[in-house]
Structure 1
C-alpha cells in the first residue's frame, strides 16, 4: 500500500475525522439563508471554518507519526521525507477537495442560489490547500497533538472573527479592517462576495493567487522544519 492510499485510509480511521469530512459538509448544505448578510446561505459562509478544522485534524496525523518516531525511522527507510510528506499532504488535500465538492454539488441539487457554483468550488479548493499548509506549519512547532489542536481552535476563532468570515467587516473600525487583510479568511470572505457580486474575473484570480501564496509560504515553513 502506498503512503498516499494509507494516508486516506488513516484519515477515515477516526470517527471525528469522518464527521468533519463527510457529515459537516452535508449539514452545512441545509443551513438557512440570511436576510441582508451573509449573501450566501449560512452554511456556505461558515464552511471555511469546517475546512480549517478538518485541516488541523488531518495534519495532526503527521504529529502522531513524529511522537511515535515514524519520521525519524525514515532515515533508514527506502523512502525520503519529501515523499512521505508529499503523499500525505496530497491525500489530505484530496479529502478536503472532496468536502468542497459535496457542499457545492449538494447545494445545486437542493436548489440553493449559489450564483457561480463552479467558481465557488474553485475558491473553496484554494482555501483548502491554504488550510492544509497553515495546519502543517502549526504542527511543526508543536509537540503534543492535544495541545496543538486546542490552541489552534483559538487561532481559528481569531481567523474567522477578524477575517470577516463570521462578522461583516463593515462594522469593524478602520484599523481592524486593515489588519483583516493579513488573514487568509479575509480573502475567502472576499472570494465569497465575488461569487455573488463579482464581474471582473481578474479580481477573483487575485483572491485565489493570494490564497495560493499563503499555501506556498506555510508549506515551506512546515516542510523545512520537518516536524522532528
Structure 2
C-alpha cells in the first residue's frame, strides 16, 4: 500500500466512496513503510483473510482422506511390500520392461550356452561389414542436440568393441571365446548385434519404399 505514495494521488478524483477512504486513510499510505512497520492504531482490523493453506501432496491427501483416516493409515501395523517387491511388481506390468526382456531373451538361441555362443560368433562373422549399432540421429549442424552426444559415444564404443571382437576371433578364436563365455559378456554384444541387424533391415525397407514413391511421382510428372 505504501508504494502508492511514489505515484500521483489518483484517488483524489474519486474520493468520497468507502473503498477510496480505505486506500487513502490506510496507515501504510499515510505513514509510509517506516511508519507502518511500527503497527496500526486502534480501529484497524488486522485479521488475515481466511484462505486454504498451500497445496501439497500430503495436504491434499489429508483433506481427501480426513484427519482420522490419515492418522490411522500412518500407525497401521499391516505388512507393506518392500522396495524390491514394489519394483518387481512394477516391472511385471510395465510394457517397456517386458519389451526389453523379450528382446534380450531372443537375442540368443535357447539351449546350451556354448551353442548360443557359437551362434553369436557365426552371426558376428557372417558378413564382411558389421551393421551400424549407432542410432540414426543428427550428430552435427543446427538440429544436433547436446544430449545426443553421450548416446552417440556409447554406441560408437559398442561398434568399436564388435570390430575388435571380430579381429580377435580371427587371430585367437579359442581364447576369445573363453573370455566371452567366462562372464557371459557375449550376451551383451549379442543383444546389440541383434538390434543393429533389426535397425538396418528397417532402414533398408524404408529406403526401398521411399525410392518406389519417388519413382512413381517422377513417372507421373
Assess same fold via TM > 0.5: no
Of structures 1 and 2, the one scoring higher in RCO (CA 8 A, sep 6+) is 1
Instruction: Please identify the structure whose Cα radius of gyration is greater.
Output: 2
Give the structure-1-normalised TM-score.
0.21
TM-score, with structure 2 as normaliser: 0.22
**Greater share of residues in helix:** 1
